Amino acid sequence: MIDRVANSSSQGLRTVIDSYLRYLQVERNASDLTIKSYGEDLDALAEYLEESFALEPAPSEVTTLDLRGYVSAVSEAGYSSSTVARRLASMRSFFKFAQRQQLVEKNPAKPLRNPRKSQKLPHFLTTDEIGTLLNAPPRSSSAGIRDRAMLETTYSAGLRVSELVGINENDLDLRDGLVRVRGKGRKERLAPLGSYALVALEKWLDIRQLSPKSEKLKERPVFLNKFGNRITTRSVGRMLEKYLKESGLDLRTSPHTLRHSFATHLLDAGADIRSVQELLGHKSLVTTQIYTHLSTATLKGVYELAHPRAKA
């Protein structure tokens, strides 16, 4: 512990924190939840600094080194990178306020960088699990035929669930095996459809019955609910959950998991990452790179084939 004495002529840290929270409430009209979050973050900081200084310091005495020590302590305590980043944001904002109030010369939190966010690998299904899921909808009912077409189309084209439910009749080109997809930011792309998806779509379109309301629409939806209107993303989620339970598959699986699985399986099979980027409609290659988590077996196989001294 560093033995330091606070400057008694300056306002104490907690007094300034109280002033800052009032400023957020009165002048910034911040929500109660925001004020509560900032208050908790700054209270934790004050407690750490009081322990470090042996008494309450003034904001002017807090250095970047002090704050770096606090950030390290928070990280070592096991807090997530997003929590550390939020506490850094609270500190920067607080000391910026203190600087405007001429209580500090410089903002000691400004030089601190946010921690790198730990990138969680997306959950995906194996090819065998995908096969089990896609075979789960019954072929004997119209709902089952529709559900199979939705699941096959989602996995075949790597679609977001919003893209799936947004498909209209004039987006499909079954002869050439393509579907026009409207992604984020209204950006359009053409996505290929495999033979399984094409067969499932043709069967569904043969029995699909639009409601009078949908019949009158210029862009008639492909996937419908039981009333003949465009199905919602929530309904797709409920449909998927039903088949997951029936198949005994991981209930963490969401409609987006099929998109993750699509990308993972393509890359594991040797597809070029830039091609997968285009198929997914990603603006940045960095976004696609989260899918490059090849299995250990795949990597070992590549190594044994490629390395001149992998095998005797």
How far apart are alpha carbons 75 and 16 in whole angstroms? 25
Cβ-based neighbours of 159, under 8 Å, separated by 6 or more: 153, 181, 191, 258, 259
Q: Tell me, yes or no, if 203 is annotated catalytic.
A: no
3-class state of residue 162 by DSSP: helix
259 given a catalytic annotation: yes
Q: How far apart are the first and last CA of the chain?
A: 58
Contacts of 111 (CB under 8 A, 6+ apart): 64
243 is catalytic: no
Instruction: State the catalytic residue, choosing from 28, 100, 184, 242.
Output: 184
Catalytic residue among 87, 160, 260, 265: 160
Tokens in use for 253? Answer: 């699986």
- Which residues is 172 bridged to in the sheet? 179
Dist CA 58 CA 9 (whole Å) = 9
Known active-site residue 293: no
Q: Evaluate whether 203 touches 149 at the Cβ level (below 8 Å).
A: yes
Catalytic residue among 87, 259, 260, 265: 259
Annotation marks residue 256 as catalytic = yes
Residue 106 a catalytic site member: no
Residue 128: closest CA among 239, 242, 250: 250
Q: Which residues are catalytic?
A: 160, 184, 256, 259, 282, 291
